[in-house]
């Protein structure tokens, strides 16, 4: 009878066990997914995934008899030809600007040589050139869906839009005031890059001093801005102590649009991260960074919609003890995994100071503009047969999900997803319920029997979740 009276204690123990199991599940995992998503996976993905995005270096491209200056930008036009923006004989040094960011070499005149050159993609032959006697310190080049050329000049503190069918000497739109840095909606301070929506609205990364993004109407009227610096960079771009918060930039250096996601992604150079924002209102969406793999500096980013959405990026020289190798990386946007890399395969053409990149829409070719050595690199994707498509996803992928403003690191190999949590809860409920039924049946048996059996003579086998 004493053992029968202990049954309620056993029932209470089992119920408590179920409650403990449910409470053991992290509450952050049970929350619905937040809008902001991922940081780059620092683990090495399987070779099958890297094989899908493997590139070979194309030497002797482009074909050009004369020497280029520092190549600050590269872009692909609507016919697939490759345009570059270079500085010719002008060099950006620590003495190029004063403490108020005013260009100190304006009296030397603009660059006398052509600064914009267009090459045929397949053989690198020079097709056309223009841009002489206009620019002082070229930086960004964007070719929009209507084949307008958008160029930024950090010395002039200006942004230019050229319609080549109209003129290669007179821009159809000029923003900013010549040689005059500023921080209102009609002045820039060393603008770096432009991105243009299909609607004609566009974004300017106003870059080295103001650290902000400005959105404009198609006519060039300011709509909004975000990310103005809450800190001051030194002339050598040294950051103050502490992290730079989200939606702020330590040099927004390059822009790319993910039109299918309605996102604008920004290469936040001195923070070594990519930040993405909603194109409609500029609110923060997601962030990608990998100090362990890519490092602390990140110079450019380009998005392509193939393979579920990929971000191509390049880091640059890093002045620290644990500096990462300079190279190109391909990030899968949905998971944050690095799924490919690209870099020259010989020391003669090794990356030193890559500054900007361009990628074809299908990801077949990648072009990288280099400041020093002064050149353009080309890479072509290697096509290989995939033996097992099921191996595309790695079980070791890791990412960080932002929940209610907090990063919660998740390793998919060790942390349960929402689906597995549901299954686990159902299985545990079935097990506990079954045990309760068995125990209640024994209670009935004891009450109807002759009492010759003792509960401690029929030991209850312990069942673990692994055995269920």
Binding-site members for Ca(2+) are 74, 141
Largest CA distance in the chain: 113
CA Rg value for the chain: 30
* Helix 7-24 and helix 418-448, axial crossing angle in degrees, nearest 10: 180
Cα 448 to Cα 300: distance, rounded to the nearest angstrom: 80
φ/ψ of residue 149, rounded to 5 = -100, 125
Q: Is 199 left (phi over 0), alpha (psi -120 to 50) or beta?
A: alpha
> CA 403, 408, 412 angle in degrees (round to 5)?
115
Binding residues for Zn(2+): 139, 253, 355
Q: Quick one: tokens of 446? A: 């004891």
Burial degree of 74 (CB within 10 A; 0-12, 13-18, 19+) = buried
Binding residues: 74, 87, 139, 141, 208, 253, 269, 355
Cα 213 to Cα 206: distance, rounded to the nearest angstrom: 6
Of all residues in the chain, what percent are helix, strand and coil, respectively (each to 5)? 20, 30, 50
Peptide bond before residue 373 is cis, with ω within 30 degrees of 0 = yes
Cα 149 to Cα 126: distance, rounded to the nearest angstrom: 18
Binding residues for a protein: 87, 208, 269
Residue in the structure block whose two tokens are 């103001």 = 210
Q: Residue 22, CB half-sphere, CA atoms under 13 Å: how many?
A: 12
φ/ψ of residue 405, rounded to 5 = 85, 5
Cα distances (angstroms) measured from residue 233 to each of 11, 93, 95, 211, 241 = 65, 16, 16, 10, 11
Is residue 258 within 8 Å of 8, Cβ to Cβ?
no
């Amino acid at each position: 009878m004493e053992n029968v009276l202990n049954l309620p204690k056993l029932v209470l123990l089992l119920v408590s066990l179920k409650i403990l199991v449910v409470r053991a599940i992290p509450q952050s995992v049970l929350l619905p997914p937040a809008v902001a998503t991922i940081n780059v996976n620092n683990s090495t993905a399987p070779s099958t995934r890297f094989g899908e995005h493997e590139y070979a270096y194309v030497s002797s491209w482009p074909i050009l008899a004369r020497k280029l200056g520092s190549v600050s930008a590269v872009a692909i036009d609507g016919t697939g030809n490759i345009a570059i923006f270079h500085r010719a004989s002008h060099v950006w040094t620590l003495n190029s600007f004063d403490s108020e960011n005013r260009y100190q070499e304006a009296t030397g005149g603009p660059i006398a040589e052509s600064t914009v050159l267009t090459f045929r993609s397949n053989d690198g032959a020079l097709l056309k050139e223009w841009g002489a006697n206009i620019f002082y310190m070229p930086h960004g080049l964007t070719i929009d869906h209507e084949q307008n050329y958008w160029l930024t000049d950090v010395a002039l503190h200006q942004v230019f839009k050229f319609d080549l069918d109209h003129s290669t000497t007179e821009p159809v739109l000029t923003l900013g005031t010549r040689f005059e840095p500023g921080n209102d909606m009609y002045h820039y301070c060393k603008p770096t890059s432009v991105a243009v929506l299909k609607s004609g609205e566009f974004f300017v990364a106003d870059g080295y001093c103001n650290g902000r993004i400005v959105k404009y109407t198609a006519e060039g009227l300011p709509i909004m801005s975000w990310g103005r610096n809450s800190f001051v960079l030194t002339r050598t771009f040294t950051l103050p102590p502490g992290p730079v918060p989200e939606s702020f930039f330590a040099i927004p250096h390059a822009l790319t649009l993910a039109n299918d996601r309605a996102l604008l992604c920004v290469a936040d150079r001195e923070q070594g991260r990519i930040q993405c924002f909603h194109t409609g209102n500029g609110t923060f969406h997601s962030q990608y960074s990998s100090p362990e793999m890519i490092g602390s500096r990140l110079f450019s980013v380009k998005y392509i919609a193939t393979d579920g959405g990929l971000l191509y990026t390049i880091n640059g020289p890093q002045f620290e003890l644990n500096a990462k190798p300079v190279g190109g990386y391909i990030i899968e946007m949905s998971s944050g995994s690095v799924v490919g890399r690209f870099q020259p395969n010989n020391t003669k053409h090794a990356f030193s100071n890559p500054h900007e990149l361009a990628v074809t829409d299908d990801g077949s070719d990648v072009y990288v503009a280099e400041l020093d050595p002064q050149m353009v690199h080309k890479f072509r994707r290697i096509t290989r047969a995939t033996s097992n498509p099921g191996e595309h996803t790695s079980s070791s992928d890791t990412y960080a999900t932002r929940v209610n403003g907090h990063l919660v690191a998740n390793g998919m190999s060790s942390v349960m997803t929402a689906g597995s949590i549901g299954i686990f809860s159902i299985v545990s409920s079935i097990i506990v319920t079954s045990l309760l039924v068995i125990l209640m049946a024994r209670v009935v048996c004891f009450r109807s029997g002759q009492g010759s059996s003792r509960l401690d003579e029929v030991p209850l086998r312990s069942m673990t979740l692994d055995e269920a």
